[in-house]
Amino acid sequence: MPPKLKVDRANPNGAPSTMKELKDTLWKAADKLRGSMDASQYKDVILGLVFLKYVSDAFEERRGIILAELEADGLAEEQIAQLIDDVDEYTGHGVFWVPARARWGYLAENAKGLPALDGEAPKSIGQLIDEAMDLIMGSNPSLSATLPRIFNRDNVDQRRLGELLDLFNSARFTGMGAGRARDLLGEVYEYFLEKFARAEGKRGGEFYTPAGVVRVLVEVLEPHSGRVYDPACGSGGMFVQTEKFLDAHKEDRTAISVYGQELNERTWRMAKMNLAIHGLNANLASRWGDTFARDQHPDMQADFIMANPPFNIKDWARSESDPRWKYGVPPAGNANYAWIQHILSKLAPGGSAGVVMANGSMSSNSGGEGDIRAQIVEADLVSCMVALPTQLFRSTGIPVCTWFFAKDKTAGAHGSVDRTGQVLFIDARNLGYMVDRAERALSDEDIAKIANTYHAWRGTASAVSAGLEYDDEAGFCYSATLAEIKAADYALTPGRYVGAAEAEDDGEPIEEKIARLSKELFAQFEESERLAAVVREQLGRVS
């Protein structure tokens, strides 16, 4: 059942009754703020508000716990007043300290602005929110230079901003605890990211990877513990899905350490807020930066790498002497194999990686890419190639695939089947369903089919416990040897290896089927000739 929301009768619009309604209602309300703002600034305003609601809710939840503990100890009100504002009691439990004038309750009370008081000038709600952002960043060094301060600009409609604050305030979750309520705020944040990505088209693809694509990477790699890295982390979707994977398996979120880097300043800020809302303590470095020009995690070796780097970059920070180019110097006009080699350079012994790439990367021979691919294949680093359906990305029509790498394909900790010298090819182009005319999505069953095929092939613990065994399936999957790949000139396109799906046997003998179809075809020819004669006769009468 979807979560129920408390109805606030003071809210003239009524509070939404389900999570979907809440998301849709907040989006429609937020849409009123567009005005003269460009899409990226509008996005910062809305996501900044969601973050502010989250940190305040988390703070109030922790404050309630501390109060209950102090009261249980029998302390007097004066003693409680002294102890309840101990900053360490909040930050020590992973909760940001929120000063009094930055708390949601204070801002909600003054959603229409603050009148002139004690000789001070009046303040708009936007000014109060900007000040709240300053107070939170000043009290929490990890958020320094992260939060947006754009709420009091001329192009932000202050009346509608106040109304949106009221709407956020009226949606109160019941019967699930504050922690679950904050998880749902995380869902709202993700929902808004997806909506913004769709609204911004190609630009949206720079910060958002469709959840289904991310889940393919996560479900195949199964990051139960260790260091997780994304060199082009966008808004942090890979890390959020990793957290959900751990939650689904009832495992500790702190079993992973998150590392990421992002080039775009605004996207880096979004990622910091997104991960904070999901309770992930991520190392995204002290600022944004170019992964090629300055690797901000130079000594880090990752157990799992998941990435959707920008495709086919023509202008990138290239140095021919870079030690990362172990398998060949990538061409100046395309960074695809620079991303692949950077990722391989960051893998720890026994590490594995999943990377979304343009389909051209699987077979391109321009600029020496074919030679680089051959070197990587011969090093036995490729474990699996998956061709994905078209139209998964609304932002681009370029068909995509996923490369999976493994430093160790022997039988052991990573799987009970020795796959040394083999590569699994999966052709998943026929999977998925159309969300609308422009976008396709992968279902849970589609994702499970891809992941289960890989795990059965590798003999992982999850496959063994589920009783899965691998077999080649014509038209869908095939386990190829390095010799077969070499014979195909090191092309890694799954369609070359999986073949065509076997035709279903309908029980009709082939000779009878040919005779029947031939008879039907000749009958159609005769009918076509008859209709052509009728048309010629009618045209003759007209002329």
Q: Which of 45-49, 83-87, 183-187, 198-202 has the lowest mean pLDDT?
A: 198-202
Euclidean distance between CA atoms 213 and 199, whole angstroms: 19
**Burial of 111 from C-beta contacts in 10 A (0-12 / 13-18 / 19+):** buried
Predicted confidence (pLDDT) per residue in 36-54, tens digit: 676 667 888 888 888 898 8
- Pick 15 or 255 by higher pLDDT: 255
Lowest mean pLDDT among 231-245, 395-409, 528-542: 528-542
pLDDT score at 6: 39
Residue for token pair 């809440």: 22
HSE value, Cβ hemisphere, 13 Å, CA-based, for 104:
23
Q: Is the pLDDT of residue 421 over 80?
A: yes
Instruction: Say how far apart CA 173 and CA 61 lie, in whole Å.
Output: 13
pLDDT top residue among 119 and 7: 119
State residue 266's pLDDT score: 84
Give the tens place of pLDDT for each residue, 133-152: 999 999 998 888 889 999 99
Percent of the chain with pLDDT over 70: 89
The yes-or-no verdict on residue 175 having pLDDT over 60 is no
- Model confidence, pTM: 0.81
CA 295 vs CA 22, 108, 443, 457: distances in Å: 40, 42, 36, 34
Q: Which residue has the higher pLDDT, 184 or 153?
A: 153
Mean pLDDT of 421-443: 93
CA proximity to 374, closest of 250, 540, 485 = 485
Instruction: Check residue 13 and give its pLDDT.
Output: 42
Asked if pLDDT for residue 170 goes beyond 60, the answer is yes
Beta-ladder partners of 347:
302
Q: Give 438's pLDDT tier (boundaries 50, 70, 90).
A: confident
**Section 307-326 average pLDDT:** 93
Higher pLDDT, 458 or 271: 458
What is the average pLDDT value for the chain, to the nearest integer? 86
Which one has a higher pLDDT value, 237 or 500?
237
Give 196's contacts (C-beta < 8 A, 6+ positions apart).
39, 43, 46, 47, 204, 208
Region 188-208: what's the mean pLDDT? 69
CA torsion sign, 71 to 75 to 77 to 83? Answer: negative
Predicted confidence at residue 39, as pLDDT, reads 66
Q: What is the pLDDT of residue 497?
A: 97
92-106 mean pLDDT: 92
pLDDT tier at 519 (50, 70, 90 boundaries)? confident
What angle (nearest 5°) sits at the alpha carbon of residue 537, between those of residues 535 and 543? Answer: 100
